[in-house]
């Protein structure tokens, strides 16, 4: 009888708790006296994405224009009060000037439960983030990129050679599949120290584990994400990891064995493992464990495998649909390489200004991250969102969203925003761009640490492919891209299908 009473009492307490949370979710921003987007109970503003009714970039764009003249307004990310920041100066204040008040990303993974997903530089918080970030930063300087350039270039050469030798594949290619294989091979060699060719060995274990790690589709992954945001403590108690046990074990074993072998045999290879091992052995007094090395290598894999390959798809789609821009870029690439005795080098690619213009405009139209977040840890005040309103006190635990996709498509900052126009980023015009309105890799101290690497691997494949091929649309190519509603990341619905038509003349003969 006592047990039944206890169960009934627990149910009643749980029900009252749920009602209180729902009431708080619905009334929180109304009580603060600022405009807000009404939440969908439990899920907040993310419900359309979670239930695959809307893509994340489309949702961000829709929310961005809810209150057009306001500097910011309220949302609910599940049950967490969230502020959408639209004003460029406020964005700079939050991400740079007042960074110490808002230094963290939202996280729901406990490092004791899932060190691979929680100990990486993206997920870490507070002082530990500062230690790891400062330790890793020297590994991503221009000189260290040159250090890894040949490894990445070799992957690109192998990729292009395979396409040249198999012309039947290039008539209509799913570029997402192709570029995922390229970025997989780049990360395998540059971050994990192993050589794979995912075009010739299409089912190599490294590639299959990467596909599993970056697959955010399906009910199981969706439920893990939802419950990780709603009730992270229960997820920790149940011992759920985000990665599958097999994938987790594969990457952990691979890195542990590689580091051990290099230590024992004194192997030095120009890759990210070597740079991370150097960081581990530095004299700065920062404790870097094997778990830390595994976590950093994995997050670069996650970003490289998925994010970089997606960006390459959008970039080549734009070039296929704008042949004049593609041809001008090809000419400038060829002229630069001719001046370097026909060789592609890091310095040569860095000097091709039109390549930077084209790539920046593609990043503006299709930024890899549609939004970024910051979590408040110290109370501070935001100015009134508009004349006639009062200041807002931001409390610890509140989230701020920076809507990158909305900013990049706002005609106030980029006239005719849907037009692909690399001239926006010419030396003359880019001076007119507010630095807080073009932030494809984020802003401030938590800006993406792998930006240089991502741009380098993209420039290399761009140069090699345009030398050998003309990129053209196919019957499956849609000039106006529709985003995939079944993916949390920005993706092209139905894939990116293009024709790679081999050129009769190129610099390599």
Phi, psi of 219 (to 5 degrees): -65, -40
User: What is the reported pLDDT for 507?
Assistant: 44
| Element containing residue 209 per DSSP (H, E) | helix 205-213
pTM of the model: 0.90
Question: Measured between alpha carbons, how far is residue 314 from residues 38, 360, 482 in Å?
Answer: 33, 12, 11
Tokens representing residue 317 in the block:
């789609």
Specify whether the CB–CB gap between 443 and 464 falls below 8 A. Answer: no
User: Cα(87)–Cα(423) distance, rounded to whole angstroms?
Assistant: 25
User: What is the reported pLDDT for 422?
Assistant: 98
Neighbours of 319 (CB within 10 A): 24
Q: What pairing do the DSSP bridges indicate for beta strands 80-85 and 380-382?
A: unpaired
DSSP string covering 79-99, please?
A: TEEEEEE--HHHHHIIIIITG
Specify whether the CB–CB gap between 307 and 368 falls below 8 A. Answer: yes
Residues paired with 470 in a beta bridge = 501
- Sign of the alpha-carbon torsion through 16, 17, 22, 25: positive
Closest CA to 157 of 412, 508, 406: 508
Q: pLDDT of the chain along its 509 residues, tens only?
A: 556 665 665 666 656 556 767 767 788 888 898 999 999 888 889 889 888 899 999 999 999 999 988 999 999 988 899 999 999 999 999 999 999 999 998 876 655 567 677 788 888 888 888 888 887 787 788 888 888 899 899 999 999 999 999 999 999 999 999 999 999 999 888 877 788 899 999 999 888 888 887 776 655 556 666 666 656 666 666 666 667 778 888 888 888 888 888 888 887 776 777 777 776 666 556 677 788 888 888 888 877 778 899 999 999 999 999 999 999 999 999 999 998 888 899 999 999 999 999 999 999 999 999 999 999 999 999 999 999 899 999 999 999 999 999 999 999 999 999 999 999 999 999 999 999 999 999 999 999 988 999 999 999 999 999 999 999 999 998 888 999 988 878 889 888 999 999 988 654 44
Indicate the SS3 state at residue 381: strand
Tokens representing residue 180 in the block:
């995922």
User: What is the reported pLDDT for 509?
Assistant: 43
Q: Which residues contact 156 (CB under 8 A, 6 or more apart)?
A: 182, 186, 457, 460, 461, 464
Determine if residue 9 is left, alpha or beta; phi over 0 gives left, psi from -120 to 50 gives alpha, anything else beta: alpha
Indicate the SS3 state at residue 373: strand
Indicate the SS3 state at residue 36: strand
Closest CA to 470 of 123, 37, 171, 103: 171
- Sign of the alpha-carbon torsion through 320, 323, 324, 328: positive
Q: Which residues contact 247 (CB under 8 A, 6 or more apart)?
A: 209, 212, 213
Residues paired with 75 in a beta bridge = 82
Closest CA to 374 of 128, 90, 135, 138: 90
User: What is the reported pLDDT for 65?
Assistant: 94
Q: What is the Cα Rg of the chain in Å? A: 24
Give the 3-state secondary structure of 211-263: HHHCCCCCHHHHHHHHHHHHCHHHHHHHCCCCCCHHHHHHHHHHHHHHHHHHH
Phi, psi of 499 (to 5 degrees): -105, 125
Give the 3-state secondary structure of 39-62: CECCCECCHHHHCCCCCHHHHHHH
| Element containing residue 12 per DSSP (H, E) | helix 2-32
């Amino acid at each position: 009888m006592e047990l039944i009473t206890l169960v009934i009492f627990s149910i009643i307490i749980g029900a009252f708790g749920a009602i209180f949370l729902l009431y708080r979710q619905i009334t929180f921003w109304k009580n603060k006296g600022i405009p807000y987007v009404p939440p969908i109970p439990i899920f907040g503003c993310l419900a359309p994405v979670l239930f695959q009714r809307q893509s994340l970039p489309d949702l961000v764009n829709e929310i961005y224009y809810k209150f057009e003249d306001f500097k910011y307004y309220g949302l609910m990310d599940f049950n967490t009060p969230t502020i959408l920041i639209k004003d460029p100066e406020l964005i700079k204040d939050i991400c740079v000037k007042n960074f110490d008040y808002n230094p963290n990303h939202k996280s729901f993974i406990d490092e004791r439960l899932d060190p691979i997903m929680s100990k990486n530089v993206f997920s870490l918080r507070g002082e530990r983030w500062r230690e790891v970030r400062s330790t890793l930063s020297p590994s991503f300087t221009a000189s260290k990129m040159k250090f890894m350039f040949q490894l990445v270039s070799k992957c690109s050469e192998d990729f292009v050679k395979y396409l040249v030798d198999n012309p039947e594949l290039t008539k209509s290619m799913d570029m997402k599949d192709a570029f995922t294989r390229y970025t997989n091979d780049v990360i395998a060699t540059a971050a994990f120290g192993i050589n794979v060719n995912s075009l010739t060995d299409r089912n190599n274990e490294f590639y299959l584990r990467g596909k599993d790690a970056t697959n955010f589709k399906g009910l199981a992954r969706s439920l893990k994400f939802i419950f990780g945001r709603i009730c992270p403590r229960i997820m920790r108690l149940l011992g759920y990891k985000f990665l599958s046990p097999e994938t987790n074990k594969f990457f952990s074993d691979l890195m542990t064995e590689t580091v051990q072998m290099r230590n024992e045999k004194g192997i030095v290879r120009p890759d990210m493992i070597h740079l991370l091992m150097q960081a581990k052995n530095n004299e700065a007094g920062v404790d870097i464990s094997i778990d830390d090395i595994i976590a950093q290598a994995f997050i670069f894999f996650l970003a490289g495998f998925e994010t970089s390959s997606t960006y390459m798809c959008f970039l080549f789609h734009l070039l296929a649909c704008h042949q004049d821009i593609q041809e001008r870029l090809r000419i400038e690439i060829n002229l630069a390489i001719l001046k370097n005795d026909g060789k592609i080098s890091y310095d040569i690619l860095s000097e091709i200004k039109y390549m930077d213009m084209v790539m920046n405009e593609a990043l503006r139209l299709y930024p890899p991250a549609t939004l970024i977040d910051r979590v408040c840890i110290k109370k501070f005040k935001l100015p009134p969102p508009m004349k006639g309103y009062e200041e807002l006190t931001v409390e610890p635990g509140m989230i701020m969203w920076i809507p990158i996709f909305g900013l990049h498509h706002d005609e106030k900052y980029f006239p005719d925003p849907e037009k692909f126009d690399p001239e926006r980023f010419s030396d003359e015009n880019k001076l007119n761009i507010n630095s807080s309105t073009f932030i494809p890799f984020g802003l401030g101290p938590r800006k993406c640490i792998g930006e240089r690497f991502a741009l380098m691997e993209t420039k290399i494949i761009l140069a090699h492919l345009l030398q050998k091929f003309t990129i053209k649309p196919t019957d499956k190519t849609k000039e106006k891209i529709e985003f995939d509603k079944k993916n949390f990341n920005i993706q092209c619905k139905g894939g990116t299908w293009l024709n790679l038509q081999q050129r009769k003349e190129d610099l390599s003969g």
